[in-house]
A = this chain, B = another copy of it.
Amino acid sequence: MAIVLGENRYGKAENRLFRVTRKGDVHEILDLNVSVSLSGDFADTHLTGDNAKVLPTDTQKNTVFALSHRLGPLEPEAFGIELARHFISTQRHVDGAEIRIEQFPWRRIECTGTPHPRAFLREGAHVRTAMVHATRAGEGFDAAVTSGVEGLVVLKTGDSAFRGFLRDEFTTLKEADDRIMATEVAAQWRWLERDPAMLGTVDWAESHRAAMDALVWTFAEHRSLSLQQTLHAMGEAVLDSRADLSAVRLRLPNKHHFVVDLDAFGIRNENEVHIAADRPYGVIEGVLQRDDAPLPPSAWPEW
């Protein structure tokens, strides 16, 4: 059995791009973390160290900053499509380009209610994400686009139960009628459209706001019988928010908050004082999808 080169890719990760756009005295900012990864005909450098087809990752870094200047303050998904277009259109041996972008949220500082034109506060621990998985297709390319959010921490103190679960020899958990439910949402939603020209009309910012509202509101208002059921409701709400999404994937860790047993001290603690636990934690993962949505292009699998 000969040993052969299989899947491979390379690129420059975590280019920390910060843009300022001046509209007179009012400035707008865009704070991104951009990662590029290219795949294609790169066997030579692997096999012999011949780098004739290798666009250095240093060049990729320069490209991120130079194209950002040329293109202006694009939304992350749109910037990702343009970066992919650049690499696929200028490098004939590149078949695929994956652009991952994190956007850090900021809001204007308000001094006694007035938004400041040039001062900002980092808002939230979450990041907005965008992924463009571009594949060469004829003279152009196919752009599988995913939008998402990571690190969105939410918690509810009511409307969450967990009962009627399966029991085996190792089960000691008690049923809960009213428990704290807390999670750190990681969500990604896929776009049906893959034609870069057609994707040019999407309002990425507005759709992101709508998906965030769908996630957060559903989490808040859902009467939960299990975290799985809440995941399902949250995913449905995202898909319901726009007809042009094909699927949504959620990863919801169950961040346990245990009621502290104070009986030994004569204190009856009725769901009032809890300890927030670190590890272990539960993890619920699931995909909601439209039943006739076309399959996504193959992606780098988990090993």
Could you tell me if A119 and B7 are in contact, using CB atoms closer than 8 angstroms? no
CB within 8 A of A158: which of B14, B118, B239?
B118
Could you tell me if B119 and A13 are in contact, using CB atoms closer than 8 angstroms? no
A137 at the interface (CB under 8 A from B): no
Q: Which of A205-238 contact B (CB under 8 A)?
A: 216-217, 219-221, 224-226, 228-229, 231-232, 235-236
Could you tell me if B47 and A283 are in contact, using CB atoms closer than 8 angstroms? no
A135 at the interface (CB under 8 A from B): no
A197 at the interface (CB under 8 A from B): no
Could you tell me if A301 and B303 are in contact, using CB atoms closer than 8 angstroms? no
Task: Specify how many copies of this chain sit in the oligomer.
Answer: 4
Chain B neighbourhood of A247, CB < 8 A: 6
Q: What's the least CB distance linking A108 to chain B, in Å? A: 9
Could you tell me if B155 and A106 are in contact, using CB atoms closer than 8 angstroms? yes
The chain B residue sitting closest to A47, CB to CB, is B232
A4 at the interface (CB under 8 A from B): yes
Q: Contacts A45-B226, A119-B156, A287-B5; is A52 near B164 (CB within 8 Å)?
A: yes
Could you tell me if A303 and B124 are in contact, using CB atoms closer than 8 angstroms? no
Q: What's the least CB distance linking A290 to chain B, in Å? A: 4
Could you tell me if B275 and A16 are in contact, using CB atoms closer than 8 angstroms? yes
Chain B neighbourhood of A157, CB < 8 A: 20, 27, 29, 118-120
A198 at the interface (CB under 8 A from B): no
CB within 8 A of A68: which of B3, B156, B190, B273?
B273
Q: Contacts A69-B269, A155-B122; is A289 near B18 (CB within 8 Å)?
A: no
Chain B neighbourhood of A5, CB < 8 A: 232, 286-288
Q: What's the least CB distance linking A126 to chain B, in Å? A: 8
A273-303 interface bits toward B, Cβ cutoff 8 Å, 1 = contact, 0 = none: 1111111111111111111110010111111
Could you tell me if A165 and B302 are in contact, using CB atoms closer than 8 angstroms? no
The chain B residue sitting closest to A169, CB to CB, is B265
Could you tell me if A11 and B54 are in contact, using CB atoms closer than 8 angstroms? no
A172 at the interface (CB under 8 A from B): yes
Chain B neighbourhood of A221, CB < 8 A: 111, 116, 119
Pairs across A and B, CB under 8 Å, 6 listed: A3-B235, A12-B283, A13-B283, A119-B157, A121-B152, A169-B265
- Other than the given A3-B288, A59-B173, 16 more pairs (CB < 8 A) read A2-B291, A11-B283, A15-B279, A15-B280, A18-B276, A46-B228, A51-B165, A56-B162, A58-B171, A58-B172, A65-B275, A66-B170, A69-B262, A118-B220, A146-B303, A296-B301
By Cβ-Cβ distance, the 4 closest A-B pairs, closest first, are A49-B225, A6-B287, A119-B220, A8-B286
